[in-house]
Amino acid sequence: MDSQTLGGDLSKGRPVGGTEFSWCQAVPGGTGITVLAIFLSRPVSLPALQSALQSLQTSHPILSAVLAAADTPQPLLSIPSSPPPLRLRRLPAADLIAALPSASHLHSLLEHELNQNPWSDPADETGVFFATLYELPEPGRSVLALRFHTAVCDRTAGVAVLKELLDRLGGDSGNSGKGKEEGIILGIEDLIPKKDAWKPFWARGRDLVGYSMNGLRASTLRFDDAGSDRASRVVRLVLSLEETQGLLTACKAREVKLCAAMSAAALVAAHSSQHFESNQQRSYMVATLIDSRKYLKPVLHDNNIGFYHSGIINSYAVHGGEDLWELANRCQSAYSNAMKNKKHLTDIGELNFLMCKAIQNPHLTPASSLRTALISVFDEPVISESSELQQYLGVEDYVGCSSVHGVGPSIAFFDTIRDGQLDCACVYPSPLHSNKQIQELVEHMKGILIEGSHVKVEELKHPQREQ
């Protein structure tokens, strides 16, 4: 990679890019706090953990950066001349767990971290990376929580941080990476090839109007409490190994991505939950997030830390009674057409603009809810396999996701295929939506996916049934 892209005048910082700025606008309200929570069943050496975290900061200077307000329209992402080492906080978790009863200690502490917001006052100069080790009541057990400002850590970066951290804790000095970064990499807008980012002025205006009108016409989930203060909560959707393989087989046979099948199932479940009259049609918005590192110039690696995801927003009309795969094909077709037309690169500015306008003018969204889509999904799941290193370190479970209780979708899906099983963190704003409401929708969605997979497997075994 060109060293000027990584270092040079950028070695000590730069103004935030357009996408980063939209996250800077969103985080004070509660959206854009990224958390990686790791459940450890064995004692961890605090000096080794502190050293591993500092090593991460050395390899990725952006993790030592601070966000500061400036006289310019956009804040600065800068590295202090002598950045202080990351301070690992060590806290007992007993009281927190008692106050936040959940299915597991990991779940409770994950939700707690998603709602810790050191960036709530945008005028303050604040770091972008925090680490806390929560000591559980059971001897030797703990939860390590890494919290990031989403402007500097997308999902791909979070996966890279997890791998590098575990490698360092296991004794690897980091030689498996792509090398030490020299500074803060440019924002995504400055790395898109000009030929891929160009769009006529009139086309930008047309798209802005189109996105706005579709957003105003789109339906949402029922709001339980639109007036109270909100927090991000999580429901997990987990399929067994057999169920996951059946779903992936069905997706492959239908030539649709997993994200299209999940979007279709969510649309069917959401429409059903509204209890409309038969064939009453409603439109819903789906945001698909794409890791754009491979589309940039120069191409970035997975371990280039920062936010390099772009988005595609599509609207789908649903009348009830749709077949899962018919709707999944529509989702796949819309996604494929948008990618073919490079809308994940050309429309970044428009989507960031509309996101900021929604934050500034909540009344432009239904019930001032700040909901910009029904759901968000990633175009590709994270693929993860357990390793001997994880077993050695006592890594029993982990979840990575981001908060959504400011501006965002009603449900954000963070999907991982871990050891062949689909494990999805479903993040939603509460009490705008209740736990019962989201849990029922996710369970319905899970049933739709499993039933659809079974039907397709039957068809694959007995193709004559399609005649």
pLDDT of 179 reads 56
DSSP 366: G
Most confident of 4-18, 114-128, 214-228, 306-320: 306-320
Residues whose CB is less than 8 angstroms from the CB of residue 18 and which lie 6 or more positions away in sequence, other chains included:
187, 189, 348, 349, 352
- In this predicted model, what pLDDT tens digit does every residue of 176-189 receive, in sequence order? 445 567 678 999 99
Q: What is the mean pLDDT of residues 19-25?
A: 95
Q: Which among 75-89, 195-209, 273-287, 338-352 has the top mean pLDDT?
A: 338-352
Backbone angles phi, psi at 312, to 5 degrees: -125, 130
**Residue range 318-325: mean pLDDT, rounded:** 92
Hey, what domains does the chain have and what are their CATH numbers? 3-188 (3.30.559.10), 193-466 (3.30.559.30)
Q: Calculate ∠ Cα 348-358-151, nearest 5°.
A: 50
Return the pLDDT at 5: 47
Among 107-116, 207-216, 345-354, which stretch is predicted with the lowest mean pLDDT?
Answer: 207-216
What's the confidence (pLDDT) of residue 205?
Answer: 83
pLDDT of residue 460: 55
What are the pLDDT digits (tens) for 418-447? Answer: 999 999 999 999 999 999 999 999 999 999
Average pLDDT, the chain: 90
The pLDDT tens digits for 111-145 are: 999 999 999 987 778 899 999 999 999 999 999 99
pLDDT at 100: 73
Q: The dihedral of CA 397, 119, 182, 53: what is its sign?
A: negative
In this prediction, residue 162 carries a pLDDT of 97
pLDDT tens digits, residue range 352-404?
999 999 999 999 999 999 999 999 999 999 999 999 999 999 999 999 999 99
Judged against a pLDDT cut of 90, whether residue 467 lies above it is answered with no
- Inform me whether the pLDDT recorded for 2 exceeds 70: no
- At 395, the amino acid letter reads V
The pLDDT tens digits of the residues spanning 256-266 come to: 999 999 999 99
Q: What is the pLDDT of residue 466?
A: 39
pLDDT of 454 above 50: yes
Confidence band for 276, pLDDT divided at 50, 70 and 90: confident
Q: What is the pLDDT of residue 321?
A: 85
- Amino acid in position 84: P
DSSP one-letter string for 112-169: HHHT--TTSSTTS-EESEEEEEEEPSSTT-EEEEEEEEGGG--HHHHHHHHHHHHHHH
Question: What is the reported pLDDT for 350?
Answer: 93
Q: In the structure encoding, which two tokens stand for residue 330, read together?
A: 């529509």
Taking phi over 0 as left and psi of -120 to 50 as alpha, with beta for the rest, 306 belongs to left
Confidence band of 11 (pLDDT split at 50, 70, 90): low
Tabulate helix, strand, coil % of the chain (nearest 5): 45, 25, 30
Inter-residue contact 57 to 83 (CB < 8 Å): yes
What DSSP string runs through 40-95?
A: ESS---HHHHHHHHHHHHHH-GGGG-EEE--SSSS-EEE--SSPPPP-EEEEE-HH
Q: Give the pairing type, strands 126-127 and 371-378.
A: unpaired
Query: Above 70 in pLDDT, residue 3?
Result: no
Residue among 308, 284, 445 nearest 375 (CA)? 284
At 4 the pLDDT is: 41
Predicted confidence (pLDDT) at residue 6 exceeds the cutoff of 50? no
pTM value? 0.93
